[in-house]
Chain A
């Protein structure tokens, strides 16, 4: 069964430092996509970054990068130079190739708090 595991319920980071949020996944498919979303207290889910299972390079989007280790089935999010506005819930999610529509499987989330 497909599953996403985020083992860090809460994380603290000092402003301007980097932080890594962990995500492991389980799937029997060879082709899949991995996503990270940010959810501030307002409730909106904001797309951050995408990594395809066949992508050879780790994805990067501005201060966000994805440390993709396929053999270990991990897709950790790295946020560089943390800002106070980064304080939010972060969700890792997966989509499998046969389900190219709207079904994402989400993890339980990690609550990130950035300290000034």
Chain B
């Protein structure tokens, strides 16, 4: 069983630029979600996708957007990067059941200068 994989592992961008982060879900999982984790904090929910549609969103502005593809891989796009966007971005996949744990990737460390 293949786990959740994310790319790239590290990224450095300049304020105002755009970035795309990628995620490949664990096989058999139909839900993918993205989290932002600032240093020393718990992960914050950005949004989730189920069968290629966004069906839940946290308190993040519209410049954070995403896609889920038919093979359940996913992208997180962030436009007009700000310094506060510097964080670890975690992708997670799961089944759509209350008891189903999220399985996380290793994350992408984004630094905005």
A-side residues, CB < 8 A to B, are 4, 31-33, 35, 37, 42-47, 50, 52, 91, 93, 95, 97, 99-109
23 contacts between A and B (CB under 8 A): A31-B98, A32-B98, A33-B99, A35-B101, A43-B88, A45-B43, A47-B103, A50-B101, A52-B99, A100-B96, A100-B97, A100-B100, A101-B31, A101-B33, A101-B56, A102-B31, A102-B32, A102-B56, A102-B92, A104-B102, A106-B44, A108-B42, A109-B41
- Identify whether the interface residues of B are mostly helix, strand, loop, or mixed: strand
Complex partner residue of B56 from A32, A103, A107, CB under 8 angstroms = A103
Chain B interface size, as a band, is 20 to 34
Residues of B within 8 A of A32 (CB): 98
Residues of A within 8 A of B106 (CB): 42-44
